[in-house]
Amino acid sequence: MSAAAPDFDALAQPGIRSLRAYDPGHDLVALRAAHAGSLIELGSNESPFGIAPGAMDAITAALPALYRYPDPRGGALKQALAETHGVGPEQIILGNGSHELLMLLGQVFAGPNAGVVASQFGFAVYALAATAANAPLRLAPALPHTAVMARGHDLDAIADVIDVSTRLLYLANPNNPTGTWYSGAGFAALLAKLPANVLVVVDEAYREYVTAPDFVSASQWLARDPRVIVTGTFSKAHALAGLRVGYALAAPGLIAVLERARESFNVNALGLAAAKASLADATHIDQVRVRNAEQRQWLTDALRARGLFVYPSQTNFVLVEFGNDTLRIEDELLKRGIVLRPMAGYGLAECLRISLGTADENMRLVAALDAVMAGEGGR
């Protein structure tokens, strides 16, 4: 007779018991099979512009050595990142995407008596990191819909909810899912208001896409404020989402603490090689930034011309309000093989997030949207 299964949920730690897994959106594998190569994927904020040619060459060159473990320290990639960001290699930790590092920061620094603060419409992983650590989470209200940065981070409101029990503040600049951003001056003013024991995590996953002159990377504060931590990723502008490579920049002492808890060999050999090569091809990333900005402006103008509210964005996506028609529009577009991202999980049920595609994909999206809004049935 087999033993009775225990209540595994009850055996888990308190934070894990209340945790809900991250929702990655639609089952794209099934949708790709159903649409036989014609699917337009505009839901995951991936780059449609491809990886740098040198990164592809680096992947090919690394293939024969895959029977070996990857460099556990990621030394070559750290050195390349150090040169790119003007920091020392000892100020860098690598992750299996920045998602891993955002969770690791919660694991290491948050807990029942060490709370987490985030913005109302911040990236969902920040709440997951707090919950997994069984840490109290406080969400600061976002800017009002009428603000220039509609529903963006309200830095004054964030400062107001932080108290002596707060250990981690998670910010994204630019923000996902709103696409909004805040200025360097605003960030400096926020830092001046925070207690000395609050660590400020700035998620800059979309930094390479920014063209706004008032944006300043938080990496500029690393040399003068040891509380600042900056995370970045190769999944967006570098187009290496399938290889999962992320990083964090911080004070050497803080990185040393994180390294104690980092999983060994957490970044694979292909990812290390491709990321280093991609960093070396600044021309490719510059071209991606320009092409992305062109498509961002084109799609924003096209959607606004149709009477839709489009949030300001410095990312590779736009957040768009469709009101009470949101579910129908999303469903009808999906029938036509166009995948967008519903935002109900963020408390933005009236919105869809649209990743920027190629010029052809964006034109096909707008054409399909015109048909759907006119009430035409899907195929």
Q: How confident is the model at residue 186 (pLDDT cuts 50, 70, 90)?
A: very high
Residue 32 has pLDDT above 80, yes or no: no
Q: Provide CB contacts within 8 A for 15, sequence distance 6+.
A: 131, 132, 133, 134, 135
| pLDDT for res 62 | 98
Distance (Å, rounded) from C-alpha 210 to C-alpha 314? 5
User: Which long-range contacts does 60-64 make (Cβ < 8 Å, 24+ apart)?
Assistant: 61/273, 62/269, 62/270, 62/273, 62/274, 63/270
Q: Which two tokens stand for residue 261?
A: 């808890």
Distance (Å, rounded) from C-alpha 254 to C-alpha 90? 10
22-45+283-373 matches 53-280 in fold: no
| pLDDT for res 23 | 75
Distance (Å, rounded) from C-alpha 196 to C-alpha 23? 34
- The position carrying tokens 């084109």 is 298
Distance (Å, rounded) from C-alpha 65 to C-alpha 58? 12
CA–CA–CA angle 153, 156, 157 (5° rounding): 70
Helix (H, G, I), strand (E, B) or coil at 179: coil
Distance (Å, rounded) from C-alpha 8 to C-alpha 18? 13
Per residue in 34-47, pLDDT (tens digit) is 777 789 999 999 99
Distance (Å, rounded) from C-alpha 27 to C-alpha 34? 11
| pLDDT for res 182 | 98
Q: Domain 22-45+283-373 adopts which CATH fold?
A: Aspartate Aminotransferase, domain 1 (3.90.1150)
| pLDDT for res 377 | 53
- The position carrying tokens 């649209």 is 354
Distance (Å, rounded) from C-alpha 14 to C-alpha 198? 24
- The position carrying tokens 């736009």 is 318
Backbone angles phi and psi of 219, in degrees to 5: -60, -20
Residue 379 has pLDDT above 50, yes or no: no
Per residue in 137-170, pLDDT (tens digit) is 999 999 999 999 999 999 999 999 999 999 999 9
Q: What is the mean predicted confidence (pLDDT) over 169-192?
A: 98
Q: How confident is the model at residue 31 (pLDDT cuts 50, 70, 90)?
A: confident
Distance (Å, rounded) from C-alpha 257 to C-alpha 109? 10
Q: What is the mean predicted confidence (pLDDT) over 105-129?
A: 98
Q: How many CA atoms lie within 13 A of 94 on its CB side?
A: 28
Q: Which residue has the higher pLDDT, 25 or 113?
A: 113
The angle, 0 to 180 degrees and rounded to 10, between the axes of the packed helices 269-280 and 53-62 is 150
| pLDDT for res 376 | 62
Q: How confident is the model at residue 1 (pLDDT cuts 50, 70, 90)?
A: low
201: enclosing H helix or E strand: strand 199-203
Distance (Å, rounded) from C-alpha 277 to C-alpha 12? 41
Residue 308 has pLDDT above 50, yes or no: yes
Specify the pTM. Answer: 0.94
Residue 193 has pLDDT above 80, yes or no: yes
Q: Which two tokens stand for residue 218?
A: 């938080």
Domain residues of the chain, as ranges?
22-45+283-373, 53-280
Residue 195 has pLDDT above 50, yes or no: yes
Per residue in 5-25, pLDDT (tens digit) is 888 888 888 888 877 777 777
Q: How confident is the model at residue 378 (pLDDT cuts 50, 70, 90)?
A: very low
| pLDDT for res 52 | 98
- Top-level class of domain 53-280: alpha beta
Distance (Å, rounded) from C-alpha 232 to C-alpha 112? 27
Starting at the edge strand that comes first in sequence, how are the strands of the sheet with 317-321 ordered?
Answer: 309-310, 317-321, 351-355, 341-342
The one-letter amino acid at 107: Q
Q: Provide CB contacts within 8 A for 9, sequence distance 6+.
A: 17
Least confident of 17-26, 82-91, 146-155, 266-275: 17-26
